[in-house]
Structure 1
Amino acid sequence: MRQASGTLRLDSHGQGLLEFTEAVLAWVEESGMSEGLLTLFCRHTSASLLIQENAAREVKADIQDYFAAIAPEDPRRYRHDDEGPDDMPAHLRTALTAVQLSIPVRDGRPVLGTWQGIYLFEHRRRPHRREVAVHLIGE
Structure 2
Amino acid sequence: MVSQIEIVLKERARGFHLITDEIINKLPPLPPIGILHLFIKHTSAGLAINENADPDVRFDLENIFNHLVKEGETYYTHIYEGEDDMPSHAKSILSGASVSIPITNGKLNLGTWQGLYLCEFRNRGGNRKLVATILS
TM-score by length of 2: 0.94
CA RMSD of superposed structures (Å): 1.3
Residue in 2 that maps onto 1:20: 19
Structure 2: gaps spanning 5 or more residues:
none
Report the Cα distance in structure 1 between the residues aligned to 2:125 and 2:97, rounded to whole angstroms. Answer: 18
Mapped pair 1:98 → 2:92: no
The counterpart of 1:76, out of the listed 63, 69, 74, is: 74
Report the Cα distance in structure 2 between the residues aligned to 1:107 and 1:42, rounded to whole angstroms. Answer: 26
Report the CA distance between 1:102 and its aligned residue. Answer: 1.0
Report the CA distance between 1:32 and its aligned residue. Answer: 4.2
Mapped pair 1:124 → 2:122: yes
Report the CA distance between 1:87 and its aligned residue. Answer: 0.2
Within a 5 Å distance, the mapping from 1:1-139 to structure 2 comes to 2-28=1-27, 30-138=28-136
What percent of counterpart residues are identical?
Answer: 34
Report the CA distance between 1:23 and its aligned residue. Answer: 2.5
Question: Per the alignment, do residues 11 and 27 of structure 1 end up closer, same or farther by CA in structure 2, a change over 3 Å counting?
Answer: closer
- Measured against aligned partners, the alpha-carbon deviations of 1:31-82 in whole angstroms (never above 9, x if no partner) come to 3411101100000000000101011111001100000011111142311101
| Contact 1:12/1:18 (8 A) holds in 2 | no
- Measured against aligned partners, the alpha-carbon deviations of 1:84-110 in whole angstroms (never above 9, x if no partner) come to 110000000001111011111000111
Q: Structure 1 runs of 4+ off > 3 angstroms? A: none
TM-score by length of 1: 0.92
Structure 1: gaps spanning 5 or more residues:
none
Tell me, what secondary structure is at the counterpart of 2:101?
strand
